[in-house]
Structure 1
């Protein structure tokens, strides 16, 4: 799928700036707009930024909630290929930062040699990452609990969002986040990740050996339920075999909402510092 009109404007703006671009990749149940505070911070620090959507994503949360059916059927490779098309039109290799399934896509893009630096945050697992912690299974149950969800979009209830994303913040903040950010998510990627280790042709795989992968910082929240530390450590062990710099950072006391809750700046500054050091 070709870049949208908004994405085309962001590509042109990035190329005209002459600055190092930073590409932000969101995950399931979020929209590209969730990265806006990060974009402002990075642009204040001398970068130009882009936030590609998943193919056919609505631009606003209100529109997305009015039409949840548009999210059905989005696959991992489809999203990765789309972001790769955006990157291919940039004049400089970007820093790529992604959260959750966006973290998996970030690792795939880095494995294709498309990132100058990459920061996968609370990344979904890929083929070869074996741990399946109970909290991750429970977080995925709203989707995986019904095989018919493979072809559907799924909207989280507040209780499901509270457990999966917002377990490390207060109830009042969790309710504010729920009212502000989540939209429906495609069921397919969770099934793809869940079966990656028994499907040799899975789309949920990463080339960890490419010497053009570049420096990578894997970030995990200490209290993350969707992608606990065990998943991050297993991903790190795979990525550590790469000749590029590979680091693992745990953010204390943080859950899966760490990139958009009230403590987002702590995580963003870690990513920004890594980018400044290695880009």
Structure 2
């Protein structure tokens, strides 16, 4: 169906269901966009169904997820705005680098190839999958305590637990292995075309209290784009953690993204 509204595609990351974007989808629709939040390959329609059958998400890697979203994008009548969180932020950077989006927002994005240093907190979260080689082909779920450390550390325990119950799902372990070995793999699927001069504008955000994607990762990512004349901007939220797009402060981030898009995308 053709519409005058600019399409927006939201891409979730590991351990969150696509429905976690629902408040953003509603807000963007009210703002005049045509938003949608499709899940990763293997995701079931609801968090509950995904938890009940985790084997469906097992084994998918970064290339499979990029290909999944690229296929959906090619069905649209024009290039969409891409908004991704965590590993979804890596995915939208790859799609933007391949000129499949009009612009992209990467919210606390997972490290792309070229990010050499992973702070201890990020290694602690990644180790949930990496410590067991079998997870490369399997699905990995977080415990309530692991979610609290990785996502909800800047929240009250009550709010973190509520988010866990509402949105947390098992996810494939393969992307974590691919990102961990990106810098020793010539053909890593975590490689992004950071030199693309013709791509649309890119906004990167970081949470200063983020344990999963520590601030140093996003700052390094921003520096990797310095040789491209295309617009790359960084926005920082010093007191926010990895849950910044789903917790009670999500609207602050969403309003900033809408304002940025209004200034950068015709």
**Paired position in structure 1 for 2:194:** 208
Alignment match, 2:136 = 150
Q: Report deviation, 1:146.
A: 1.0
Query: What's the counterpart of residue 239 of structure 1?
Result: 225
Counterparts of residues 83-232 of structure 1 (less than 5 Å): 83-232=69-218
- The runs of at least 4 aligned residues of structure 1 exceeding 6 Å deviation read none
Q: Name the CA distance, whole Å, in 2 between partners of 1:268 and 1:77.
A: 28
Distance 1:77 1:176 in 2: 32
- Give the equivalent residue in structure 1 for 2:40: 54
Q: Tell whether the 8 Å contact from 2:97 to 2:192 is kept in structure 1 after alignment.
A: yes
Structure 2 unaligned residues grouped into runs of 5+: none
TM-score for the superposition, normalised by structure 1: 0.93
Identify unmatched segments of 5+ residues in structure 1.
1-11
Aligned equivalents of 1:114, 1:270: Cα separation in 2:
23
- CA distance in structure 2 between the aligned counterparts of 1:135 and 1:57, rounded to whole angstroms: 27
CA distance in 2 between partners of 1:27 and 1:241 (Å): 27
For the pair 1:25 / 2:11, whether they are aligned, the reply is yes
TM value normalised by structure 2: 0.97
Deviations 1:183-208 (A, max 9, x none): 00101000000000011121111011
Secondary structure, counterpart of 1:132 in structure 2: coil
1:87 CA drift (Å):
1.0
8 Å Cα contact 2:196-2:230 kept in structure 1: no
Distance 1:56 1:277 in 2: 36
Alignment of 1:2-21 (within 5 A): 12=1, 15=2, 17-21=3-7
Describe the SS at the equivalent of 2:8: strand
Picking from 248, 253, 258, the partner of 2:244 is 258
The alignment partner of 1:123 has SS state of coil
For the aligned residues, what is the CA RMSD? 0.9
Q: Is the 8 A contact 2:178 2:189 kept in 1?
A: yes
Aligned length: 265
